[in-house]
A and B are shown apart, each in its own frame.
Chain A
Amino acid sequence: MTPVADTSELPSRTSMLRRLAEERAGGVLERSTGLLYLVDGRVVHAESEAATALGQLVVGSGRLAKADWDEALERCGGDSRRAADHLVKDGQLADGALELCRLTALFDAAYFALAPGGGAARFRHGVTSEGGLGLSVPADRVLAEVSRRRALLHSLWPGPSMDHHPVVRGRPRPDRPPSVRLRELLDLADGERTPADLARALGRPAFHVLLEVRRLAVAGLVEPPRPPARRPTAPTRTGRSPAARSRAPDGFAAPDIALLQRVRDGLEACL
């Protein structure tokens, strides 16, 4: 676990997007983690496999039945934005509702598209995204929101160790009932679904689920990530004390999570 969020890659991506915004460039910024489409230097669309798709957000928000979305998508040959526009035209989906879902989807995908570790970025001028352009957001605002989100995640639980692994429920805490939103998430955590799977199943932005999984881990309702397996210790003939033997090669014993939680509860009770 690294103590500080990896920001080493950020300056280059940030400066590239800033420069493109200043040039009022149009085209697509490509990274292995996702795509950002620009028109006149403003972000008009973002895509990432890690993010929850527009259709899932629309259905998940309760604004439309899944069957209606699937039907519209089929009619539009799988183009989700055209399908959404048709639904608005037909009066099945409100304009404002779609606007909120689009904005949510854009920031969700942009977060992953600009994530550290996504490799080099390249820009292809003149490439436009398919479908109608629903909205546009200044690049500065996207960058500010992405770094705010990264800091928010980091402040809850440092390191991305929980982001890609199946979510495993912890011991229930009758004294600390989780909120309705968190309970819905816990109900679906079957020990196989990753945060991204949970986000799709719930129709919520993937970033929100990353955030909530970390909150649940802090509350002890989700198992914290397991420390990497330790090498089996050599037969104990070295004469070291038992305390020293129980330590990992880096000199630190694995933390006793249950004990730490009891300590934290005790401290909170004193406040």
Chain B
Amino acid sequence: MINTETALKEAMTGIEGALGAALVDYSSGMALGTLGGNKELDLSVAAAGNTDVVRAKVRTMEMLGLKDEIEDILITLGGQYHLIRLLKSRNNSGLFLYLALDKDRANLAMARHQLKRIEAELDV
């Protein structure tokens, strides 16, 4: 198992085009760790705001009666991808990884794959 800092470092250095990464507790919207980000991308604000996205999706799934789990959520902007990956193992329930990517530099399929790997390592 790797710790928060290592997980975020791996996300930032190992994923092409990464602009910022955060590990977020979605009950409270608190970022347990952040790395990267800049004046245009305040990761603490992004963490709290995207908590609402995750909560809304979880609730919608329950209202629809879908007995499935959210693996990840992709938000596509003009110049960026925002990728949310829920840590859904027994031990990490209630957390998500948040990754902002530069759309021109990122390979979306690779980014999703790498984020999945980091999630597995963050788990016990």
A contacts with B: majority SS = helix
A62 CA to B94 CA in the complex, in Å? Answer: 12
Task: Answer whether residue A133 sits at the interface, using C-beta atoms and an 8 A cutoff.
Answer: no
Report chain B residues within 8 Å CB of A103.
4, 32-33
Task: Answer whether residue B122 sits at the interface, using C-beta atoms and an 8 A cutoff.
Answer: yes
A38 CA to B6 CA in the complex, in Å? Answer: 25
A178 CA to B62 CA in the complex, in Å? Answer: 8
CB distance from A265 to the nearest CB of B (A): 13
Of the candidates B4, B30, B48, B94, the one whose C-beta lies within 8 Å of that of A181 is B94
Task: Answer whether residue A75 sits at the interface, using C-beta atoms and an 8 A cutoff.
Answer: no
CB distance from B64 to the nearest CB of A (A): 10
CB distance from B76 to the nearest CB of A (A): 25
Q: Which of B47-64 contact A (CB under 8 A)?
A: 48, 58-59, 62-63
B28 and A177 contacting across the interface, CB-CB below 8 Å: no
CB distance from B5 to the nearest CB of A (A): 8
5 contacts between A and B (CB under 8 A): A94-B1, A96-B1, A179-B58, A181-B93, A208-B28
Once A62-B91, A148-B48, A181-B94 are accepted as A-B contacts, the answer to whether A100 and B4 lie under 8 Å apart by CB is yes
Total chain B interface residues with beta-carbon distance under 8 A: 26
B28 and A99 contacting across the interface, CB-CB below 8 Å: no
A99 and B3 contacting across the interface, CB-CB below 8 Å: yes
Report chain B residues within 8 Å CB of A178.
62
Of the candidates B28, B29, B59, B124, the one whose C-beta lies within 8 Å of that of A97 is B124
B3 and A95 contacting across the interface, CB-CB below 8 Å: yes
Interface string of B18-32 (1 = CB under 8 A from A): 000000010111101
B contacts with A: majority SS = mixed
Report, nearest first, the 5 A-B pairs whose CB atoms are least far apart: A94-B1, A96-B3, A208-B27, A96-B1, A94-B124
Which positions in A face B, CB cutoff 8 Å? 61-63, 94-97, 99-100, 103-104, 107, 144-145, 148-149, 152, 176-181, 204-205, 207-208, 211-212
CB distance from A134 to the nearest CB of B (A): 11
CB distance from B115 to the nearest CB of A (A): 16
B28 and A205 contacting across the interface, CB-CB below 8 Å: yes
A95 CA to B89 CA in the complex, in Å? Answer: 17
A176 and B25 contacting across the interface, CB-CB below 8 Å: no
Report chain A residues within 8 Å CB of B91.
61-63, 97
Closest residue of chain A to B124 (Cβ to Cβ) is: A94
A92 CA to B111 CA in the complex, in Å? Answer: 32
> Most A CB atoms within 10 A — which of B28, B30, B32, B63?
B28
Q: Which of B83-116 contact A (CB under 8 A)?
A: 90-91, 93-95
A152 CA to B93 CA in the complex, in Å? Answer: 21
Of the candidates A100, A107, A176, the one whose C-beta lies within 8 Å of that of B63 is A176
Report chain A residues within 8 Å CB of B44.
144
A152 CA to B51 CA in the complex, in Å? Answer: 12
B59 and A149 contacting across the interface, CB-CB below 8 Å: no
A103 CA to B24 CA in the complex, in Å? Answer: 12
Report chain B residues within 8 Å CB of A62.
90-91, 93
Closest residue of chain B to A103 (Cβ to Cβ) is: B32
B124 and A63 contacting across the interface, CB-CB below 8 Å: yes
